[in-house]
Structure 1
Amino acid sequence: MLRITLEQWRMFKSVVEYGGFNQASEGVNKSQSSIHNAVGKIEDTLGVKLFKVVGRKTEITKAGEMMLRRANYLLDEAAKVEAVGQTLGEGIEAQLRVAVDEVFPQRILYEVLDSISSQYPLLNIEIMESVLAGANELLESGEADIAVSPIELGDSFSEELCQLEMMAVACPSHPLHQLDRELELQDLRSFRQIVVRDSAVSHEKDEGWLGANQRWTVSHMRTSIDMITKGLGFAWLPVSSIDQELVNGSLIPLKLKQGRIRNVQLHLVFKDGDRLGPAARSFIGELRHKTLSLPTSESV
């Protein structure tokens, strides 16, 4: 039988966090006497002194610091036990699988994932990065619950999520910038274009301008960005993925008369909304909200 309750450990922790008994009383809305009694109960039971008075300040002792570390762990574990019970009671799914096209801004994705993980701490999340038709293929095969894709899926729910700007860019030393005039698409044919391969296996698609006489095809957007900043070619890249490179000048927009900016519509796709659990629905809601703040070429 435990002789010290979780509530007493919480009162001890509150004194440390708020810097004293009076402050803790106001912070946790408890009487000062109840906090003193809780701390006193711990000290009497364990035979240790948790605090000492130095001048007008209440300071934690060395023994108190050690007990605080243990108490923090105990309280964290208790919170996890409660979360497990809530998860089981509400029927929250154990896993969420999301296929996301690589043009989707990573910053937005990470913010959404962090928020969902905080709401559902026991949820296992699997992110599958894809290109073009790859996200829909994962959804159709049952490997993903939700897809963020530039391609609509006819027999599923498809909602326009956001529109991304793709900008034609090259590094400052690229020969296209040395022409020092407005460019035609014809000017690009003599220079290497970096393109990202469709990750779908059965329904591979080609998208975008593919008129260059020489192309290097890579599997990931980040590889494409790295190659272009090193002067190995040009490409249309998502503005939201190269905002820092545009600001620091490592990538410069090509002076195209037409087609410098191309818009890509991303879709939120899933099979059956009624089968999605609370965590999946929360993920969709956060995704819709966060995409409202996406940058454009005018804001970088």
Structure 2
Amino acid sequence: MARSTIEQWRMFKAVADFGGFQQAADHVHKSQSTVHHAVNKLEEQLGVQLIEVQGRKTQITPAGQQLLRRITYLLAETERFENVAKNLKQGVESRLAIAVDEAFPKSVLYQALAEVSKEFPLVHIEVIETILNGANELLNKGVAEIALSPFTLANELSEDLCQMEFMAVCGAKHPLAQKHNVTPEDLKQYRQIVLRDSGQERQIDVGWLGSEQRWTVSHMATSIELIQKNLGFAWLPKTAIAESLQYGVLTPIQLTRGATRTLSLFLNFRDAQTLGPVARSFIGHVRYFTE
């Protein structure tokens, strides 16, 4: 069992940080004798000299320096622990899980997360990336508190956040890149890259799936990479491929119809009454940045 206390270590660190017992006492709002006694008692308990005084100069011994590096981390963790406990007392969640469809605009997500973290820096936020039914499924299972999904919840009020435009694209050196007036029949002879529904209970297919050749992948990034390598085509969110289009790595397919399509994305949660301050803050910022 530890014989030293956090308060003793806090006073020792104050002496090290501020260069003397009086300066430390002023910082921790204790008397100089109290600080001196705490450090002397700590040295006695450990059997190690931590501080030596030469004239008017207070110095940390090599042993003290070594222990100081370790105790600095422990004191920081103690402060975080106390702040988490304070948050819990005030009803602030210690954790927030958000299920986000990969089509959701990353810029909006990152801005909202940054603002929430400024307000609640100690809260652990988990972002779970999903495809199609995956976000709502995690919400229904209680794995996530919030879902940003392309589907509404059954018998629930879902909030329409934004519409995403999807564009049919291929790699710059893909045969489709050189064609004009491409028809759906023309597409059938080329490989289509399809995203797999991450939901386990009810998987569905969305969009045109008429190609005889098809590769199915689990992540948007994989789909984009395969298409950049001229290994297929797909309809992808314009926000996710804007840079690739700008630099000519991807090119729009010149379809006679259906070159673009839109998909609504919804904000879903089970019960507004059970949402804590962190969840409400995130929802507020997501609404603001999608306006």
**Contact 2:102–2:129 (CA<8 Å) still a contact in 1?**
yes
Q: Counterpart of 1:212?
A: 211
**Contact 1:157–1:271 (CA<8 Å) still a contact in 2?**
no
Partners of 2:83 and 2:210 lie apart in 1 by 55
> How far is the alpha carbon of 1:74 from its aligned partner?
9.2
Partners of 1:90 and 1:120 lie apart in 2 by 15
Q: Determine if the alignment matches structure 1 residue 166 to structure 2 residue 166.
A: yes
Name which of structure 1's ranges 140-149 and 162-171 shifts more when overlaid on structure 2: 140-149
Q: Counterpart of 1:157?
A: 157
> How far is the alpha carbon of 1:72 from its aligned partner?
8.7
**Contact 1:157–1:272 (CA<8 Å) still a contact in 2?**
no
Q: Counterpart of 1:121?
A: 122
> How far is the alpha carbon of 1:114 from its aligned partner?
3.1
Q: Which amino acid aligns with 2:87?
A: T
The TM-score with structure 2 as length reference comes to: 0.73
CA-atom RMSD in angstroms = 4.2
Runs of 4+ in 1 over 3 A off after TM superposition: 69-82
User: Secondary structure of 2:158's partner?
Assistant: strand
Percent of aligned pairs with the same amino acid: 48
Q: Counterpart of 2:246?
A: 247
CA change 1:228–1:280 in 2 (3 A) is same
User: Secondary structure of 2:164's partner?
Assistant: strand
User: 1:220-239 counterparts in 2 under 5 A?
Assistant: 220-239=219-238
User: 1:83-98 counterparts in 2 under 5 A?
Assistant: 83-98=83-98
User: 1:1-300 counterparts in 2 under 5 A?
Assistant: 80=80, 83-118=83-118, 119-123=120-124, 125-179=125-179, 181-292=180-291
Which residues of structure 2 form unaligned runs of 5+? 8-17, 19-65
**Contact 1:161–1:288 (CA<8 Å) still a contact in 2?**
yes
Tell me the alpha carbon deviations over residues 110-137 of structure 1, each in whole angstroms, 9 at most, x when there is no partner.
Answer: 33223323324133x2222211111111
Tell me the alpha carbon deviations over residues 35-83 of structure 1, each in whole angstroms, 9 at most, x when there is no partner.
Answer: xxxxxxxxxxxxxxxxxxxxxxxxxxxxxxx9xx999979966863663
CA change 1:247–1:72 in 2 (3 A) is farther
> How far is the alpha carbon of 1:238 from its aligned partner?
0.7
Partners of 1:262 and 1:74 lie apart in 2 by 54
CA change 1:88–1:136 in 2 (3 A) is closer
**Contact 1:156–1:272 (CA<8 Å) still a contact in 2?**
no
**Contact 1:168–1:236 (CA<8 Å) still a contact in 2?**
yes
Name which of structure 1's ranges 139-148 and 79-88 shifts more when overlaid on structure 2: 79-88
> How far is the alpha carbon of 1:290 from its aligned partner?
2.3
**Contact 1:167–1:236 (CA<8 Å) still a contact in 2?**
yes
Q: Which amino acid aligns with 1:111?
A: Q
> How far is the alpha carbon of 1:264 from its aligned partner?
0.7
CA change 1:276–1:120 in 2 (3 A) is farther
CA change 1:71–1:114 in 2 (3 A) is farther
Partners of 1:243 and 1:289 lie apart in 2 by 22
Tell me the alpha carbon deviations over residues 202-254 of structure 1, each in whole angstroms, 9 at most, x when there is no partner.
Answer: 21111011111211111111111010000000000011111111111100111
User: Secondary structure of 1:257's partner?
Assistant: coil
User: Secondary structure of 1:157's partner?
Assistant: coil
Q: Which amino acid aligns with 2:114?
A: D
Q: Counterpart of 2:10?
A: none
Aligned length, in residue pairs = 275
Q: Which amino acid aligns with 1:190?
A: Q
Partners of 2:252 and 2:74 lie apart in 1 by 55
